[in-house]
Amino acid sequence: PLRAPIVITDLRTAEMIKYASNAFLATRISFINEIASICEELGADIKEVAAGMGYDKRIGHQFLDAGVGYGGSCFPKDVKALEYMASIHGCHPQLLRAVMEINRDQRRQVIHKLRELLGGRLQDKVVGLLGLAFKPNTDDMREAPSAEIAHLLQHEGAQVRGYDPVVVENASRELPGVTLYADPYELAEGCDALVVVTEWNEFKHLDMARVKPLMRQPVLIDGRNIYDPAGMQALGFIYRGMGRGYANQ
């Protein structure tokens, strides 16, 4: 009744279909993030680049959103497992290793941008993270980019705040030392910078004209490219997106 194709195969092949599918989607994400890094240096806009690529029917639009990288229960685990199985059986999974390395680099890019805009040091700076779950519409914190970004910020001496529309209990357990807020405007008050980590729809509709005067410094790192750079700059924000070269210059 589902009218769905059924593939009957051996156990090893079935397992490989699952691993390869998730690894391929993770590769698409890391690919577009690498292109985003190049866009920043060349003055191109990754949003427009991804849109143009997606109109090629051989490529499509899905999983071409540049940002702070993938997380969750499937992609990190499956790419790592596939890389490990390949290694112990004498293969050289260099593409899979690059996928994981690029994903880690996306978190570090946030720190580099913050350092650049906050005087070269993050010691005692107050940074607010907008979104803590690994993706919107879930409370799942497994391999969430927010956890690694928070850890890197704390390592550099920053005071880290966090807000998420859903994640509360999980965040307090997964993000030790991060002060959690129940309201994004309260979180913004006194911050030196805000970082969009999860693309919750709520954040797209924040009153950013209200947010800006609450902050000590109006630095905005748009880790999911949900805002219009020109609009944010017109409001007085010091804006940095991911791969939005023309806006980051």
Instruction: Please write the tens of the pLDDT for every residue from 79-92.
Output: 999 999 999 999 99
- 117-140 pLDDT, tens per residue? 999 999 999 999 999 999 999 999
Q: Which residues are catalytic?
A: 74
User: Is the pLDDT score of 210 beyond 90?
Assistant: yes
**Strand pairing of 238-241 and 126-130?**
unpaired
- Average pLDDT score over residue span 188-195: 98
pLDDT of residue 32: 98
Residue 97 class from Cβ within 10 Å (0-12 exposed, 13-18 middle, 19+ buried)? Answer: middle
Residue 238, pLDDT > 90, answer: yes
DSSP3 helix / strand / coil % (the chain, rounded to 5): 50, 10, 40
Whether the pLDDT of residue 180 is over 70: the answer is yes
- 5-23 in b/e burial notation, b at 16+ Cβ within 10 A? eeeeeeeeeeeeeebeebb
pTM score of the predicted model: 0.92
Gyration radius (Cα) of the chain, Å:
19
The proportion of the chain whose per-residue pLDDT surpasses 70, expressed as a percent, equals 98
The helix/strand/coil state of 24 is helix
Place of tokens 């693309």: 199
Token pair 């690994």 is found at 134
What is the per-residue pLDDT for 168? Answer: 76
pLDDT of the residue at 248: 58
Average pLDDT over residues 45-74: 96
Res 246: pLDDT: 67
- For 89-191, where are the alpha helices, taking DSSP H only? 94-117, 145-155, 169-174, 184-188
